[in-house]
Amino acid sequence: MAPDIDHISRQIIQAATGMPRYIVALAGPPGAGKSYRSERLCTAINEQLPGQAGVVPMDGYHFDNAVLGEAQLPLKGAPHTFDVEGLRVDLERLRRADQPVAVPVFDRPLDLARAGGRLISLEQRIVIVEGNYLLLDRPVWRDLRSLFDWSLMLDVDDDVLAQRLVARWLAMGQDHTGAMERTHQKDMLNAQLVKTASFSPDQYWR
């Protein structure tokens, strides 16, 4: 049986006992439900330890469209379109647990990151970092691995991912042709990279 939210939240709480900061990587391909699961997991932890958990979304480290430029914009969402060094520095600051850390958040409807969109306080000892490439075994990305205390990988079938991604693009105003193209010519390619080129997590989560 796949572990549920309550089971995983208890695992994390037990592992984080006595630690000033405990950082969890929640990785998975596009459409796997990382944002939804991370927020639910954060809520479950905070119900047991009020105010002690927070979420850092990797999507906040997207390069701005103006930085990517017209040639790279269609590839937005691929590993090279993220400020991974900025993410690493912020994870190191979170690891030190000596001051609050402001992190960016991604506004999907506006398609841009908002700097300082979220503050992780010292009281938030348990930090869930969610994103596609957190466990990617590629230069620079692999340097993140040592900054996580524990890692989860969402395990979702490709057909389910594709259905969710098409629905996401349609909800964002794409026509059917555009939604299918973005799903299969971009998102699903990134999904295969996550599935085939990531380090094994400490636990898979279906």
Give pLDDT, residue 114.
94
Which tokens go with 54?
């927070």
Contact in structure between 79 and 186 (CB atoms under 8 Å): no
Say yes or no to pLDDT of 1 above 80: no
Contact in structure between 205 and 153 (CB atoms under 8 Å): yes
Q: How far is the C-alpha of 128 from the C-alpha of 123, rounded, in Å?
A: 14
Give pLDDT, residue 108.
84
Give pLDDT, residue 103.
98
Which residues, listed in sequence order, are joined to residue 151 by a DSSP beta bridge? 25
Give pLDDT, residue 106.
94
Q: What is the mean pLDDT of residues 100-126?
A: 95
Give pLDDT, residue 110.
85
Which tokens go with 86?
């900025």
Contact in structure between 181 and 175 (CB atoms under 8 Å): no
Contact in structure between 139 and 157 (CB atoms under 8 Å): no
Per-residue pLDDT of 137-176, as tens digits, reads 999 999 999 999 999 999 999 999 999 999 999 999 999 9
Domain at 5-157+200-205, CATH homologous superfamily: P-loop containing nucleotide triphosphate hydrolases (3.40.50.300)
Which tokens go with 189?
């390619």
pTM: 0.95
Q: How many residues does the chain have?
A: 206
Any idea where the domains of the chain sit in the sequence?
5-157+200-205
Give pLDDT, residue 135.
98
Lowest-confidence segment of 19-23, 120-124, 168-172, 199-203 by average pLDDT: 168-172
Beta pairing, strands 53-57 & 112-120: unpaired
Give pLDDT, residue 2.
58
Number of Cβ within 10 Å of residue 59's Cβ equals 18
pLDDT band at 109 (very low <50, low <70, confident <90, very high): confident
Closest CA relative to residue 152, chosen from 21, 42, 20 = 42
Per-residue pLDDT of 118-142, as tens digits, reads 999 999 999 999 999 999 999 999 9
Contact in structure between 148 and 15 (CB atoms under 8 Å): no
Percentages of the chain per state (helix, strand, coil), in multiples of 5: 50, 25, 30
Which tokens go with 186?
């971009």
Per-residue pLDDT of 52-66, as tens digits, reads 999 999 999 999 999
Q: How far is the C-alpha of 102 from the C-alpha of 113, rounded, in Å?
A: 13
Per-residue pLDDT of 39-98, as tens digits, reads 999 999 999 999 999 999 999 999 999 999 998 988 999 999 999 999 999 999 999 999
Q: How far is the C-alpha of 54 from the C-alpha of 45, rounded, in Å?
A: 9
